[in-house]
Structure 1
């Protein structure tokens, strides 16, 4: 499979990259800082920015699927880049995208009319990051793409150990955390199995 990975130098992205390279997929990454990549072996590296239309055009050439592990990083990168990314994918007839979001944009279990970040379930003092991820969700819903948003709750560093639970559209009941490694594992499994299309998926232990 020919995969474009965005956010490849981040915590989840770097683990996804290792899994895909180990399985001999044709990997392409668009990164601002190539020196931060966990591996460059068998990886086509494009130095650029997701906010640059020309960089996106070059990055999507010849790929089958896009995986985005971009973080908010206290910026508006997600909300600014997603319309350009969708437009570029549609132009090149690339249908499948899997992104890493946040549990905040899942539906609240206690107040179903609200997103978790809007409800009493959320313990976050600021909603800025969730609002960025919500913009991605709303743009994808309005698109013609086959999308999946993987929505981890509290995300400590750690290897994949398995035993995690998933639920579409809501967080698994009493879910408290999920490791970086297991989040990457689930993203990769979703990519390989082509499951959960047009769904948000909550993941937690």
Structure 2
């Protein structure tokens, strides 16, 4: 399979990239600085995810897309996603898997609200959740096969198994999930249709 990855130098994106290459997929990764290790199945494109031509070059010939773009107190994520969606439509690509945040899952405390709005989350700063909600609203309004993987607290660490997943909600009592298990779950969605067109909360 030919896979395009955005955010491949980030914590989760780097782990998704490793899994894709280990399985023999052809990968294109758009990066700001070329610091990824060379690999015969990896094409590194140096550019800006906020530039349409760079996004289009990355998506040419792809069968599926991963986005692990971080928020980093910038609007990069919300600026990039319309360009990614547009390029996917131009290229006839239907599958996109993105890394979100548990804040955009449905609230258990306040029906009709998201977790970051409904008091489920202890986080006082909502900028990242707002950025991820913008992406969620963009994706739910279009006819693509999207999945937003929404981990709760995300410490570094390898995959250790025991990941629980629930459509549109964070699993009851979920407190954390490692970077490794988040990448493992997200990567597994390439072959899984259970969470098409939905958010999925993951935690231990």
TM, length-normalised to structure 2: 0.97
Deviation at 1:83, TM superposition (A): 1.1
Distance 1:149 1:40 in 2: 29
Aligned equivalent of 2:23: 23
Alpha-carbon displacement from aligned partner over 1:114-133 (angstroms, at most 9, x marks no partner): 10000111101110000000
- Determine if the alignment matches structure 1 residue 88 to structure 2 residue 87: yes
Distance 2:120 2:56 in 1: 40
Superposition CA RMSD, Å: 0.9
- Please list, as runs of the form range in 1=range in 2, the aligned pairs for 1:57-96 lying within 5 A after superposition: 57-96=56-95
- Please list, as runs of the form range in 1=range in 2, the aligned pairs for 1:37-52 lying within 5 A after superposition: 37=36, 39-41=37-39, 42-52=41-51
Distance 2:168 2:38 in 1: 35
Deviation at 1:194, TM superposition (A): 3.9
Distance 2:18 2:120 in 1: 34
Return structure 1 stretches of 4+ with deviation > 2 angstroms: 192-195
- Please list, as runs of the form range in 1=range in 2, the aligned pairs for 1:92-103 lying within 5 A after superposition: 92-103=91-102
Aligned equivalent of 1:108: 107
Distance 1:84 1:7 in 2: 15
Deviation at 1:195, TM superposition (A): 3.6
Deviation at 1:50, TM superposition (A): 0.8
SS at 1:34 equivalent: coil
